[in-house]
Structure 1
Amino acid sequence: MISTRQLRYFVEIAESGSFSAAAERLYIAQSALSRQVKELEQQLGTPLFERTARLPRLTAAGAAFLPRARNVLQDLEKAGDLARAVGQGLRGSLRLSHSSTVPLTGLLLQRLSGYLQENPEVCMEIAQLSSEGQLEELAHGRLDIGMLRLPVLRQHEGVCIEPLFDEPLLLAVAGHHALANRKSIGLNELREQPFISLPHHQRGGLSYLSAELCMGAGFFPRPAQVVSRKTTQLQLIQAGFGVALLPQCMQDIAPAALRFIPVNDHGCVSTVAVAYRRDAGALVRQFKDHLGGGA
């Protein structure tokens, strides 16, 4: 079988014009170089050089073989560069998903944009999926990175979850709501308000956290006539169906008519987390570390 060493030696002789010059550039003995080329010719069944008293000249077979040999060596070098880049997390494709309450705005958008600018050889496929759905997809290897809100109620073997940053929860109300002009509010003032987002017994996330905070204030949130766990809750609030505790970043995608009121209670914050497989490769870990940088 033809070896890359034989190809490299053959190309070097052809480009340098002599066996001695090629041996010097390759830092090997001329006898070893000649032996490798002779073995290559034997495998091909034809001479590649005309050995003359002066300088070796390519035979017709050698001239035809030279450009292909160069291409093979160049392709091998490119393949090596690609493997190293992928192994170091500098190139590849990432499948990323985020929950509806983790919109790609503000800090996350800045870090995402900065990462892609620094890594032009990385491409990304982004979709929106619930926190539970993200963990399920990660567990089955169909997703690389998930961005969700804590708490999560169900852990999956082999899936890691790391907090990224905290942000305050605000009370979202319609512009015409009786509380719309308040500068701040306490949770205990919301016991009679209808909430458009309620927890599910098998799901965590923002609605679960909201209920926990309300229960800490002495009441369970009263359900509105219409409830939702998705971004449609913004439209439901605007229409006057009820209120919700939403993270500060939701202001970036909310209708202009909505009002967001700071909540006085200590600990009224929500945590954004990143989820990934424990056996994730360098590309995933590099991106995960970039997301967490400076948090």
Structure 2
Amino acid sequence: MTSIRQLRYFVEIADCGGFTAAAERLYIAQSALSRQIRDLEQHLGTALFERTARQPRLTPAGLAFLERARPLLADLHKAEQLAQQVGQGLRGSLRISHSSTVPLTGALLQRLGRYVRDNPGISLDIAQQSSEAQLGDIAEGRLDLGLLRLPVLRQHQDVQLLPLFSEPLLLAVADSHPLAMAGAVSLEDLRDERFVSIPHRQRGGLSYLAAGLCMEAGFFPQAAQVVSRKTTQLQLIQAGFGVALLPACMADIAAPSVRFVALREPCHSTVALACRRQPEPMLQQLLQALAGKAFSTSDDCPEPLEGHGTQLP
């Protein structure tokens, strides 16, 4: 079989116009170069050069071989560059999912945009999934990075959770709701309210956290006639079906007719990055871009995103 070395030597001789000049450019002995070409011609069963007293000339077979050899070497060079760039995290594609209550807004969207601008060889495929679905897909290799809200009830041995930022929870109500104009409310004030988001017994996330806070205040949230754990709960609130405890960033995507009221109690929600342990260089760079520092273990605590809350303790 023709070797890559023989291809390169053959093309170099054709470009230089002779064995002596090619040997000098390749930094090898002319005898070694001649031996490689003889072996190549023997393998092909035909002469590639006409040896003359002045300069070797390509035979018709040599001209035909050169026509195909050049693009083969060019493609090989591109393949080598691509492999190096992917290995160094400079080129490729990353699959990302985010929970419905982690909208891509504010500083999070800005950092994603900066990462894309700084890495033109990398593309992002972004979808929306529940926290549990993200963790499962990451564990099975179908997803590279997840953006979700803690807590999660199901843990996967090969998946790590990296706290990214925390932000206050607010009461979201329709602008016609009696509490819409309140300066602040207490969780106790919500005892008789109907909530459009009720936790699932096998799922964590925001609804699980909100229910836990209500239980600490002495009651379990009553379900509205229509409930949702997705961003559609904003539409349900706007339509007057009920209320919800939502993170401050949800105000970025809510309609003007949905009002956000502060809670008197210190209630916060944490957003985390989820990925496989020992991520590849390309994903490491994205993690660093989102968190503002390099990290690779679950013990790391990234700096908070400006405008989204405080760093976790």
Give me the TM-score of the superposition, normalised by structure 2.
0.89
State the number of aligned residues: 294
Question: Higher mean Cα deviation, 138-147 or 72-81?
Answer: 138-147
Q: How far is 1:72 from its partner?
A: 1.1
Question: Which residue of 1 is the match for residue 233 of structure 2?
Answer: 233
Question: What pairs with 1:1-295 in structure 2 (closer than 5 Å)?
Answer: 1-266=1-266, 268-278=267-277, 280-293=279-292, 295=304
* 4+ residue runs over 4 A deviation: none
Q: How far is 1:144 from its partner?
A: 1.8
* Structure 1 contact 158–279 (Cα < 8 Å) conserved: no
Q: Identity of paired residues, percent?
A: 66
Q: How far is 1:43 from its partner?
A: 0.9
* Structure 1 contact 194–222 (Cα < 8 Å) conserved: yes
Alignment partners' CA distance in 1, 2:271 and 2:32: 62
Give me the TM-score of the superposition, normalised by structure 1.
0.94
Q: How far is 1:279 from its partner?
A: 5.5
Q: Deviations over 1:142-169 (max 9, x none)?
A: 2222111100011122111111111111
- What residue identity is the alignment partner of 1:190? L
Q: Deviations over 1:167-223 (max 9, x none)?
A: 111110110111111222222322222222121211100001111222223332232
Q: How far is 1:286 from its partner?
A: 2.4
Alignment partners' CA distance in 2, 1:106 and 1:67: 54
Question: Higher mean Cα deviation, 166-175 or 118-127?
Answer: 118-127
Alignment partners' CA distance in 2, 1:287 and 1:133: 21
Alignment RMSD, CA only? 1.5
Question: Higher mean Cα deviation, 187-196 or 9-18?
Answer: 187-196
Alignment partners' CA distance in 2, 1:242 and 1:50: 89
**Unmatched segments (≥5 aa) in structure 1:** none
Q: Deviations over 1:70-102 (max 9, x none)?
A: 111111111111111111222122222111111
- What residue identity is the alignment partner of 2:2? I
